[in-house]
Chains A and B, each alone.
Chain A
Amino acid sequence: MRVNQVEVPRDENGSSILDLARADIAESSTKTRNCAACPGSGSGSMEFQSPYPDQVLENVLENVLHFLTARRDRNAASLVCKSWYRAEALTRSELFIGNCYAVSPRRATSRFTRVRSVAIKGKPRFADFDLMPINWGALFSPWVAAMAKAYPWLEKVYLKRMTVTDEDLVLLSESFPCFKELVLVCCDGFGTSGLAAVAGRCRQLRVLDLVESEVDDDDVEWLSYFPESQTHLESLVFDCLQFAVNFDALEKLVARSPSLKKLRLNGSVTTPQLYRLITQAPQLTHLGTGSFGALEAVAAGDQEPDYASAFAACKSLVCLSGFREIFPDYLPAIYPVCTSLTSLNFSYANINAEHLKSVICLCHKLQTLWVLDSICDEGLQAVAATCKDLRELRVFPENPNEDVEGPVSEVGLQAISEGCNKLQSILYFCQRMTNAAVVAMSKNCPDLVVFRLCIIGRYRPDAVTGEPMDEGFGAIVMNCKKLTRLAVSGLLTDRAFSYIGKYGKLVRTLSVAFAGDTDMGLKYVLEGCHNLQKLEIRDSPFGNEALHSGLHHYYNMRFVWMSSCKLTRHACQEVARALPHLVVEVIRSQGERNDDSVEILYMYRSLDGPRSDAPQFVTIMQ
């Protein structure tokens, strides 16, 4: 491409052909192109007259910026000056949108023109627990429409809590010939028709991961739509599908996917079927076993396959999950892989302590463990005894009701804290807890980054002393110097929040439910937690004065959620008027209200003002 020195036209972004050309050089020198269908913007055909000094600088800059991958670094670089801003915008290949309403698709695609990978997050987390009315928003449609025009070379899409339609998936499959990875986490709105489009048209597809998403059964056998030839599939995850898949199609697909490393099956895949799959794919590193149950149809005397041998042949297996309808007698089949496992997810398996022990005693390398509390404190003690390298633990409740005797308690937490000193992340559901155990964990596990304790009975005090749980959580923020994420529960007074505000200087995400006494609680947090980015509060007595006390900080945050607190519409409106770049949504979940109380407040910063797709039950304060 011949480049003139004179009269270089500039587009609306201030970029010229020169910029784009240079960006191409920078790009092609470091990026490898895997996609056979994509023509490279080959640098070989580029010719330059002797460039001006600032052009040289920009050239160098783009090459250097190419090595910056961390978002934070790129954002910082873009603020240096206009030249750096332009260069950074041209070289950013991974775009992360933490809140789909913080910026419009048009603005994002105008600024970043050479994106290969996009991650977008939609609804706030409390939407997972039915606290957000359906049809609130977070639609993928406007994004895919904009990207279809702006990013023809798009390779990866990661979406979390977005509503994606079949039409969106069809458009995606038609617009991006190099498309390689689709990951949908906690999404909804689509079904097997959309999946069929992706499977059928995205010929370079490597990753198709459906994680905790709601997928409709359109009676389309989507697995049959993958091309007949060998696929490039490396990861196929569909364990969240609530309906059967065509096993025949699945088996043939696995057989012609030699690069497949991650396979997570849903509960419709039976154990004999699992056997057939893993014998054909012993190269798997991540396996979701599907049902792992006993088929009723197996007649007495039928020979069952040698499951243990099949697992033993999977020498690369490091991550095991599934067990959706587990038949505990089958557990010995996984013994051969236990010693290599770094990640084990038993959170759908209602196994008892004995069952768990038989497995866990072999899992010396385990770093991530998700379990149901059916394993009891005894099971947790076994974990503590063996899994010295444990980094992440999640204990889910088998019976998530209040007023029941829970099988895990402070005993299990204490044991884990003593045995697993490298723990970084914990999510623990229980019916009873003590400050002492929480304090112990704060001291024994100094590397804690995420501490989420959910005492299921609301307002439960320390089970032994009857005191509020203030001191326990206080110790966590005081002693765990790396803590960035905290979820509190149990009986908590304002004191707990004063600790959080005073010591929780690195906390970015805070989750509060049924806690606190007065506005002071929230004030402590808003005034003290300088790094707070995500705040979600429900059913706590925080009101207008507390809301007001955070005005200095809301622009630094991704969002604030407050539901069933003591806010009034008037106060929310004041916030909206004080902070014009904050979108303040007041959401009603039911019927009409003519009083001033606010059921749900959801507010977030935005560069593009109030959204145009807000449904009837959302009022945007102005």
Chain B
Amino acid sequence: MESPTISIGELNLQDTELRLGLPGSDEPEKRCNVGSKRKCSPEEESTGNRSDAKSDHNQSDNNGPPAKAQVVGWPPVRSFRRNSVQQKKEEEGGRYVKVSMAGAAYLRKIDLKVYKSYPQVLKALENMFKCTFGEYSEREGYNGSEYVPTYEDKEGDWMLVGDVPWDMFTCSCKRLRIIKASEAKGLGCL
């Protein structure tokens, strides 16, 4: 027999919670796979968190009332099917953004949420596209590099990565594009 241990997850708060449903029906609002290697869309992450603001995320685009916390695995739609259709909406919120590079045949995608600062995301881009960016300065942009990271913001303007405070960048960035330094003249702040 296992020795009984009670973890936080076991305090049965479900009993005191008000919800719809027939009496006796157990609605498991919990994650079944702790440490799932599957990348979670914010929608999946909200599962099981009762007062999680993220569960409102889907509704905020629809201007509807916030959705109640979702039940695991319901409705029975496979996760990749949710992800691909939902991801388009997420992109407007600025999390997953496409990254293209002048001359590269295919697009990549990065999750801005993963990074905490400009140096981090720039490093990631450098690794991804095997290029280097120079030193960034407010006045002169990226000095001395062949390539320069730019992004399109919510207003449709193309800006130099680094021009605005980090938080503003992650909210407003719609997509990234790495262009040749020669094309960068005349962008944004210069």
Tell me if A399 and B32 are in contact (CB < 8 A): no
Say yes or no for A247: interface residue by CB 8 A criterion. yes
Known: A324-B84, A348-B85, A566-B24. A401 touches B70 (CB 8 A): yes
Tell me if B26 and A400 are in contact (CB < 8 A): no
Tell me if B75 and A212 are in contact (CB < 8 A): no
- Chain B: interface residue total (CB-CB under 8 A): 57
Say yes or no for A84: interface residue by CB 8 A criterion. no
- State which residues 261-306 of A face B: CB under 8 Å: 267-270, 273, 296-297
Specify which of A347, A404, A456, A563 is in contact with B81 (CB 8 Å cutoff).
A347
Residues from chain B with Cβ under 8 Å of A273 in the complex: 105-106
Say yes or no for B115: interface residue by CB 8 A criterion. no
- State which residues 35-54 of B face A: CB under 8 Å: 35-38, 44
Q: Which residue of B lies closest to A297 (CB)?
A: B100
Q: Which residue of A lies closest to B30 (CB)?
A: A590
Say yes or no for A58: interface residue by CB 8 A criterion. no
Say yes or no for B79: interface residue by CB 8 A criterion. yes
Tell me if B75 and A541 are in contact (CB < 8 A): no
- State which residues 198-252 of A face B: CB under 8 Å: 212, 214, 240, 242-248
Say yes or no for A454: interface residue by CB 8 A criterion. yes
Specify which of B72, B77, B78, B100 is in contact with A296 (CB 8 Å cutoff).
B100
Say yes or no for A403: interface residue by CB 8 A criterion. yes
Tell me if B32 and A133 are in contact (CB < 8 A): yes
Instruction: Decide if the interface of chain A is mainly helix, strand, loop or mixed.
Output: loop
Say yes or no for A458: interface residue by CB 8 A criterion. yes
Known: A270-B107, A273-B105, A590-B30. A541 touches B22 (CB 8 A): yes
Residues from chain A with Cβ under 8 Å of B32 in the complex: 130-133, 589-590
CB of A99 to closest CB in B, whole Å: 20
Say yes or no for B154: interface residue by CB 8 A criterion. no
Say yes or no for A54: interface residue by CB 8 A criterion. no
Known: A348-B85, A513-B74. A594 touches B2 (CB 8 A): yes
Distance A166 CA – B70 CA, assembled complex (angstroms): 34
Specify which of A297, A398, A429, A517 is in contact with B85 (CB 8 Å cutoff).
A398
- State which residues 316-338 of A face B: CB under 8 Å: 324-325
CB of A402 to closest CB in B, whole Å: 7
CB of B9 to closest CB in A, whole Å: 5
Tell me if A592 and B4 are in contact (CB < 8 A): yes
CB of A295 to closest CB in B, whole Å: 8
Distance A128 CA – B82 CA, assembled complex (angstroms): 12
Q: Which residue of B lies closest to A242 (CB)?
A: B80
Tell me if A456 and B75 are in contact (CB < 8 A): yes
Distance A73 CA – B120 CA, assembled complex (angstroms): 62
Say yes or no for B188: interface residue by CB 8 A criterion. no
Residues from chain A with Cβ under 8 Å of B182 in the complex: none
Known: A244-B107, A591-B10. A129 touches B64 (CB 8 A): no
Q: What are the interface flags for B1-12 relative to A under an 8 Å C-beta threshold, 1 for contact and 0 otherwise? A: 010110101100
Distance A565 CA – B44 CA, assembled complex (angstroms): 23
Say yes or no for A459: interface residue by CB 8 A criterion. yes
Tell me if A396 and B27 are in contact (CB < 8 A): no
Q: What are the interface flags for A344-358 relative to B under an 8 Å C-beta threshold, 1 for contact and 0 otherwise? A: 000110100000000
Say yes or no for B108: interface residue by CB 8 A criterion. yes
Say yes or no for B180: interface residue by CB 8 A criterion. no
Distance A491 CA – B38 CA, assembled complex (angstroms): 32
Q: Which residue of A lies closest to B55 (CB)?
A: A401
Tell me if A541 and B24 are in contact (CB < 8 A): yes
Distance A590 CA – B14 CA, assembled complex (angstroms): 15
Residues from chain A with Cβ under 8 Å of B84 in the complex: 267, 324, 348
- Known contacts A129-B76, A132-B32; 20 additional CB pairs below 8 A are A130-B31, A130-B36, A132-B33, A134-B33, A134-B36, A214-B38, A246-B105, A273-B106, A399-B58, A400-B75, A402-B67, A402-B70, A403-B65, A539-B28, A541-B22, A541-B25, A564-B28, A590-B9, A591-B7, A594-B4
Interface residues of A (CB under 8 A from B): 126, 128-134, 186, 212, 214, 240, 242-248, 267-270, 273, 296-297, 324-325, 347-348, 350, 372, 396-404, 429, 454, 456, 458-459, 513-514, 517, 538-541, 563-566, 589-594, 599
**A-B pairs with beta carbons under 8 Å apart, 28 shown:** A129-B72, A129-B74, A129-B77, A130-B72, A133-B32, A133-B33, A134-B35, A134-B38, A214-B38, A244-B108, A273-B105, A296-B98, A325-B88, A397-B75, A400-B82, A402-B70, A402-B75, A404-B62, A404-B67, A458-B21, A459-B21, A514-B27, A541-B22, A565-B26, A589-B30, A589-B31, A594-B4, A599-B28
Give me the 9 closest cross-chain CB pairs, A-B, nearest first.
Answer: A129-B73, A594-B4, A589-B32, A244-B106, A247-B105, A456-B75, A131-B73, A134-B33, A564-B26
